[in-house]
Amino acid sequence: MSTNGAPIVKAEEVEKYFGRNHVLCGVSLEVKRREVVCIIGPSGSGKTTFLRCINHLERIDSGRIEVNGHLIGYRAGKNGELVEDSERNIARQRSEIGFVFQRFNLWPHKTALQNIIEAPVRVRKAKPEDAIAQGEALLARVGLADKRNAYPGRLSGGQQQRVAIARALAMRPALMLFDEPTSALDPEMIGEVLEVMQELAAEGMTMVVVSHEMGFAREAADRIVMMDGGVIVEEAPPAQFFAAPAHERTKQFLSKIL
């Protein structure tokens, strides 16, 4: 594995409640640079919530998450306690983390290209011509060069998700987070999205992927993390994970989905 240096994600004892519901009960995870980590687990296990905490789309109630060596969402207060960070800082950190949503969340009033160049132009203040050139290159990379001027409503689910990946890549993120990127797709479109993700992984992008795609996990992941009931039950490289799961809960889960 071509991983090296300090971890890019370092989560320590993350706890999260939704009202009285304890959804994350002390989750700790490190992700190294260029590593691809797949998080699997039954629905309600907290895997999506945990992923959303990594770019602070969800607040956390205790513990800490560092991305690229900096706390995300919080800063240390006077007495060492964590207080929520300024909107500006949170936004700046998020701009370096790509996030791909289950339901794509493309902006329907903008074309494919406009979706991609929006953040580089408005957030990074890139020159429009540079952003357009980069946007066109990204569209070509996800195989949609001809859909430059198409509105999301004109694209299939698979195409929309590929545009969404391109939109996230346009900010040149150091880390890409995928939240069940193929769950909302018709079966025949899953392949085209996984292919793009596999290429990304092969190019050395650091990725954390919440997914039920065991084929992808087996082939592209360096490590598989099994979550259940708000905790990490087990983590292992794919070969070991699938061949000899250590935990009873993992065995049960795998027997149901494989």
Partner 1 sequence: MHTLVAAVDWHLLKQRIFEPNHPFVTALIRTVYIAVVAQILGVALGLASALMQMSHLRVLRFLSYVYVLLVRGTPLLVQIFFMYYGANLLLGFTLFPRTVNFGLFSLDGVIVAGIVALAVNEGAYMSEIIRAGISSIDRGQMEAAKSVGMRYSLAMRRIVLPQAARVIVPPLGNEFNGMIKNTSLLAFIGVYEMFLDAEQGYSVTFKPVEYFIGVAFWYLVLTTIWTLIQVQIERKLGASEREEDEGWAQRLLGLPTTAR
Residues that bind partner 1 (CB under 8 A): 55, 57, 87-88, 91-92, 94-99, 101, 103, 105-109, 118-119, 122-124, 151-158, 160, 164, 167-168, 170-171, 184-186, 188-189
Count of CB atoms within 10 A of residue 53's CB? 23
Q: Are 68 and 23 in contact (CB under 8 A)?
A: no
Rounded Cα distance between 242 and 258, Å, is: 10
Structure-token match 């060069």, residue found:
145
Q: How far is the CB of 255 from partner 1 (least distance, A)?
A: 28
Judged by CB, which is closer to partner 1: 98, or 238? Answer: 98
Looking at this protein, which amino acid is placed at residue 102?
Q
Of 68 and 105, nearer to partner 1 (C-beta) is 105
For residue 171, the minimal CB distance to partner 1 (Å) is 6
CA 138 → CA 38, 125, 150, 160, 201, distances in Å?
Answer: 24, 18, 15, 13, 16
Q: How far is the CB of 14 from partner 1 (least distance, A)?
A: 19
Beta-carbon count within 10 A of 172 CB: 12
> Which amino acid is residue 60, in one-letter code?
I
Q: How far is the CB of 147 from partner 1 (least distance, A)?
A: 11
Of 119 and 246, CB closest to partner 1: 119
- Nearest approach, Cβ of residue 104 and partner 1 (Å): 8
Give whichever of 189 and 226 is closer to partner 1, judged by the CB atom: 189
Scanning 70-156, the segments in alpha helix (DSSP H) are 87-94, 112-122, 128-141
Nearer to partner 1, 117 or 225 (CB): 117
